[in-house]
């Protein structure tokens, strides 16, 4: 921590739809102090680090609003299967064999990929969450974390509720404030109604938001209606009081106009995961309708088992392109809206608004640099279009999180890449034996 | 040219759905001589080049079956617009100002991006095509090229027909056989019926296939029906005799079951461009129906003005994911089918089958290597899934085309990257003044 100067960069602050062709950025501690245009002329002494960013572009770090980091261990293990079979026949049997160190190394692998690809904040709901939190603490990334709560049995409900409380108590605001805890009831189809009511109470007591999977598949919606007098998952959540709490709902693929109106009424935030929803055959979320209704949408990769990478540039690109094609409307989601969704709207979706997701004085210093000296960034007509439509994770060269330089010239300073690969191979040899 | 040994690579030959965990590959002249499993034990003398590919994966070079390379000059210039406005209000006015050297430098930029990203064959239909062919000759890439033929006026019809004949006469089989020429009538909406009949005759005389844009938008299909007694573009092409010639049809987004049956009858090959079709709001092609009907589909990026990059891994990924989501069917297009579409099926779509798109003895030596020592390639569950779902253009380290090493450790040996950027900036300063 200290004072960092980044100079001679293209700067895309994502404050409004514009950018600076040549500018500088000063970081002081964990926050951005100044963003300026032109040459930095005041002398470069008094900085702990000076980064000459000629040929680079600076933008806010990407915010991944939904995922399960440790599922990186299952990347490529189960593809081309529908969600229920994928989950029940492939993922769960492996997850049953997982022990805490698996979750730690799986999370390290995912965080390594995310940091190298410019993601500075990720969201997680899983189990053995101490392992995820430790990986966040050790790596320097920022995260919003929840112990996944499920109520398959009264015993499981009790265990995961207590585990959820224990987790938020232990980890909220830890790791220099980089960890934010939430409660994470998994989904209506894994949490009985009474259990969800309990979770609402717990969330109130601890004054923390909720994250939950909602209306991911048509199957889930139909099953919910059958079991709940015709109520959709969104309608059921309203009835159970979930939306009385600040909530981020992942997926929302199969939501009706009525559902969207309910979500708007409670300002439910949405984690839109276009790639995962495609890959599992879940469908295409009505993102344009949700945006038009005034909802806040962030983007998420979901776990690497259903994506299969954690490249937030691909989610941005997919969000910008998919709805154009589905709706046959070439302006459905603009390049700039997709960029906002991947940065400041994502921060807002995670209830971290006003602090994160832009480059402006006072914002948390999560900054990434991209190498623009590559063919897919020529000619220099429009940097916002280039970010939304041409860029990818491997363009990222440097990453700063919370004012700390964690990736420099494509090397992650805080992690041992070769050790992570070796440990991943080791734990996988046992899990997939 | 000479003998090249690549050893200690993961090898994905795309001959059948399997791969070699550790193997070697021998290239002799322009062709693959041998693909073997395990260590290469016969001594490494007698090779002009020995590539230690430990930590790398070898696969066939990617085949891009549709595009307009020089439109890279318009990348990011006109986004979030529907096809007709994009074409008529933004692209055409700039294209009217283009001179031959613009097309040369635009093509150089596109080829630079494609080679670095593992594309070893691309397809082009444009004008000032000598510039494209010269860029192909100079860069070492393989290409299938056509002078775009349009009949807006009798004068234009005559000029582009003669230009098309001149082009194939001059360039077919040139550049060590890397250039294949075709005739390229642009589309039914730019070519009157009588002109298309003339093109059929010319194609017969020169014994070369045709490439044409067909049924890209609903607007185009409706207009065609209005002007041709209810015939769809596919039906009209059948009636005009286009399909009596070997034809690759780009897009085919709005094709009916009846259209598909006609295409099958004539074995019309398809260039599926999922990203471009999404971005321009054209729609989502019924790729699964076309595959089920037994049609051959290759993948294409289209021009960078409607994509906006030329990353064929993204097209592969999109082809594998998009139809799963649209059809809510998680096995709609498998990872391996997408990989075939990006390689050997693409070669077949371009009438280059049996020579290109696989790694097997006798095949043309178009080989790419990827750096697998990256987080998105761990764990090592399934290389085919990793290629279809996790990989990207920037993973490519080395590229061999026609037995010649053209990219080594991410450096393009045959092109001057900095000069290309400078020339692109120079010509754009004039074009976009």
Beta-carbon contacts of B52 under 8 Å, excluding residues fewer than 6 positions away, are B7, B8
pLDDT score at B258 = 98
Q: Is the Cβ–Cβ distance between B150 and B157 less than 8 Å?
A: yes
Q: Are residues B113 and B29 in the same domain?
A: no
DSSP for A334-403, written as a single string: -HHHHHHHHTHHHHHHTT-TTTSSS-STTSB--EEEEE--SGGG-S-S-HHHIIIII--GGGEEEEEETT
* Domain containing residue B229: 62-349
The answer to whether the CB atoms of A324 and B279 lie below 8 A apart is yes
Q: Are residues A143 and A246 in the same domain?
A: yes
Token reading at B197: 């009949």
CA torsion A416-A417-A419-A423 (nearest 10°) is 130
For the question of whether the overall pTM of this predicted structure is more than 0.80, the answer is yes
Q: Are residues A187 and A68 in the same domain?
A: yes
Using pLDDT thresholds of 50, 70 and 90, give the confidence band for residue B354.
Answer: confident
Beta-carbon contacts of A60 under 8 Å, excluding residues fewer than 6 positions away, are A13, A14, A120, A343, A344, A356, A357, A358, A359, A363, A366, A367, A368
CA distance A350 to A122: 10
Mean pLDDT for A145-173 is 97
CB contact residues (below 8 A), chain B span 202-221, against chain A? 218
Q: Are residues B108 and B15 in the same domain?
A: no
Q: Are residues B282 and B386 in the same domain?
A: no
Q: E strand or H helix at B370, and its extent?
A: strand B367-371
CA distance A256 to A324: 20
Residue A422 lies in a domain: no
pLDDT score at A87 = 85
Q: Is the Cβ–Cβ distance between B252 and B285 less than 8 Å?
A: yes
The pLDDT of residue A337 is above 90:
yes
Using pLDDT thresholds of 50, 70 and 90, give the confidence band for residue B45.
Answer: confident
Count of structural domains, chain A: 2
CA distance B287 to B330: 14
Question: Chain A: nearest CA to B54, how far in angstroms?
Answer: 15
Residue A82 lies in a domain: yes
Half-sphere exposure of B297 (CA within 13 A, CB side): 27
Residue A418 lies in a domain: no
Minimum mean pLDDT range among A38-47, B169-178, B306-315, B342-351: A38-47
First vs last C-alpha separation in chain B? 44
CATH of the domain at A20: 2.30.40.10
Q: Are residues A205 and A143 in the same domain?
A: yes
Q: Are residues A374 and A334 in the same domain?
A: no
The answer to whether the CB atoms of A279 and B308 lie below 8 A apart is no
Q: Are residues B57 and B205 in the same domain?
A: no
Beta-carbon contacts of A373 under 8 Å, excluding residues fewer than 6 positions away, are A55, B421
Token reading at B73: 């000059």
pLDDT averaged over every residue in chain B: 97
Residue B421 lies in a domain: no
**Cβ contacts (< 8 Å) between B310 and chain A: which residues?**
376
Residue of B nearest to A109 (CA): B375
Burial A122-156 (b: 16+ CB within 10 A, else e): bbbbbbbbbbbbbbbbebbbbbbbbbbbbbeeeee
**Cβ contacts (< 8 Å) between B331 and chain A: which residues?**
80-82, 281
Going by C-alpha positions, the residue among A13, A57, A10 that lies closest to residue A38 is A10
Question: Chain B: nearest CA to A284, how far in angstroms?
Answer: 6
**Cβ contacts (< 8 Å) between A109 and chain B: which residues?**
375, 378
Token reading at A354: 């006003």
Going by C-alpha positions, the residue among A142, A151, A237 that lies closest to residue A181 is A142
Q: Is the Cβ–Cβ distance between B145 and B180 less than 8 Å?
A: yes
The pLDDT of residue A115 is above 90:
yes
pLDDT score at A84 = 80
The pLDDT of residue B6 is above 70:
yes
For B170, phi then psi, to 5°, come to: -80, -35
The answer to whether the CB atoms of B280 and A330 lie below 8 A apart is yes
pLDDT score at A1 = 66
Kindly state the DSSP code that residue A61 receives in the 8-state scheme: P
Q: E strand or H helix at B149, and its extent?
A: strand B142-149
pLDDT score at A392 = 97
Residue B174 lies in a domain: yes
Mean pLDDT for B31-54 is 94
The total of other beta-carbon atoms located within 10 Å of residue B183's CB is 27
Domain end among B318, B349, B380: B349
Q: Is A410 on the interface with B (CB under 8 A)?
A: no
Q: What is the SS3 assignment for A253?
A: coil
Domain end among B349, B376, B404: B349
Q: Are residues B238 and B379 in the same domain?
A: no
Using pLDDT thresholds of 50, 70 and 90, give the confidence band for residue A76.
Answer: very high
**Cβ contacts (< 8 Å) between A375 and chain B: which residues?**
72, 109-110, 112-113, 116, 417, 420
**Cβ contacts (< 8 Å) between B115 and chain A: which residues?**
none
Q: Are residues A233 and A336 in the same domain?
A: yes
pLDDT score at A191 = 98
Instruction: Give Cα separations from A348 to A60, A249, A270, A296, A343 (angstroms).
Output: 14, 13, 10, 7, 9
Helix boundaries (H) for B172-266: 193-206, 218-227, 233-240, 257-265
Mean pLDDT for A252-263 is 98
For A109, phi then psi, to 5°, come to: -60, -45
Q: Are residues A392 and A247 in the same domain?
A: no
Domain end among B304, B319, B349: B349
Q: Is the Cβ–Cβ distance between A269 and A247 less than 8 Å?
A: yes
pLDDT score at A66 = 98
CATH of the domain at B172: 3.20.20.140
From the list A317, A331, A378, the residue facing B80 with the nearest CB is A331
pLDDT per residue over B277-294, tens digit each? Answer: 999 999 999 999 999 999
Using pLDDT thresholds of 50, 70 and 90, give the confidence band for residue A423.
Answer: very high
pLDDT score at A41 = 85
The pLDDT of residue B1 is above 70:
no
How large a percentage of chain B has pLDDT more than 90?
A: 95
CA torsion A98-A103-A108-A114 (nearest 10°) is 100
pLDDT per residue over A296-336, tens digit each? Answer: 999 999 999 999 999 999 999 999 999 999 999 999 999 99
Q: E strand or H helix at A186, and its extent?
A: none
Instruction: Give Cα separations from B352 to B137, B144, B357 (angstroms).
Output: 19, 10, 9
Residue B240 lies in a domain: yes
pLDDT per residue over A130-144, tens digit each? Answer: 999 999 999 999 999
pLDDT averaged over every residue in chain A: 97
Strand A20-28 to A31-37 pairing = antiparallel
Q: E strand or H helix at A174, and its extent?
A: none
Q: Are residues A211 and A327 in the same domain?
A: yes
Residue A281 lies in a domain: yes
pLDDT score at A104 = 98
Residue A424 lies in a domain: no
Going by C-alpha positions, the residue among A345, A328, A365, A343 that lies closest to residue A294 is A345
The C-alpha angle with vertex B117 and arms to B94 and B298, in degrees rounded to 5, equals 80
């Amino acid at each position: 921590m200290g004072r960092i100067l980044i100079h001679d960069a293209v700067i895309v602050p994502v404050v409004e739809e514009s950018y600076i062709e040549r500018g500088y950025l000063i970081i002081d501690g964990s926050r951005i102090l100044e963003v300026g245009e032109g040459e930095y002329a005041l002398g470069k002494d008094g900085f702990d680090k000076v980064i000459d960013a000629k040929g680079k572009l600076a933008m806010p770090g990407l915010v991944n609003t939904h995922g399960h980091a440790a599922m990186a261990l299952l990347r490529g293990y189960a593809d081309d299967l529908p969600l229920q079979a994928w989950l029940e026949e492939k993922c769960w049997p492996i997850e049953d064999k997982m022990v805490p160190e698996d979750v730690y190394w799986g999370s390290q692998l995912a965080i390594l990929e995310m940091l190298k690809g410019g993601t500075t904040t990720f969201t997680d709901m899983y189990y053995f969450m101490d392992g995820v939190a430790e990986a966040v603490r050790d790596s320097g990334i920022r995260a919003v974390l929840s112990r996944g709560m499920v109520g398959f049995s009264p015993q499981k409900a009790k265990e995961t509720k207590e585990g959820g409380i224990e987790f938020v108590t232990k980890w909220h605001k830890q790791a220099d404030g980089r960890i934010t805890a939430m409660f994470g009831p998994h989904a209506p189809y894994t949490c009985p109604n009474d259990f969800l009511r309990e979770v609402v109470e717990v969330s109130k007591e601890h004054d923390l938001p909720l994250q939950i999977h909602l209306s991911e598949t048509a199957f889930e919606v139909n099953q919910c209606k059958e079991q709940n007098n015709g109520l959709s998952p969104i309608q059921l959540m309203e009835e159970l009081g979930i939306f009385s709490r600040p909530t981020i709902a992942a997926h929302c693929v199969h939501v009706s106009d009525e559902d969207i109106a309910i979500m708007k009424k409670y300002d439910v935030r949405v984690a839109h995961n276009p790639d995962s929803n495609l890959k599992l055959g879940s469908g295409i979320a009505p993102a344009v309708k949700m945006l038009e209704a005034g909802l806040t949408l962030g983007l998420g990769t979901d776990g690497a088992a259903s994506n299969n990478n954690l490249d937030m540039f691909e989610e941005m690109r997919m969000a910008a392109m998919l709805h154009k094609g589905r709706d046959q409307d070439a302006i459905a989601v603009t390049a700039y809206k997709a960029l906002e969704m991947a940065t400041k709207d994502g921060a807002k979706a995670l209830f971290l608004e006003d602090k994160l997701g832009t480059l402006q004085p006072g914002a948390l210093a999560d900054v990434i640099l991209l190498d623009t000296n590559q063919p897919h960034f020529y000619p220099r007509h429009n940097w916002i279009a280039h970010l939304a439509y041409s860029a990818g994770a491997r363009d990222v060269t440097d990453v700063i999180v919370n004012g700390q330089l964690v990736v420099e010239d494509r090397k992650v300073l805080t992690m041992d890449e070769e050790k992570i690969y070796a440990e991943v191979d080791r734990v996988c040899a046992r899990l997939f034996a």
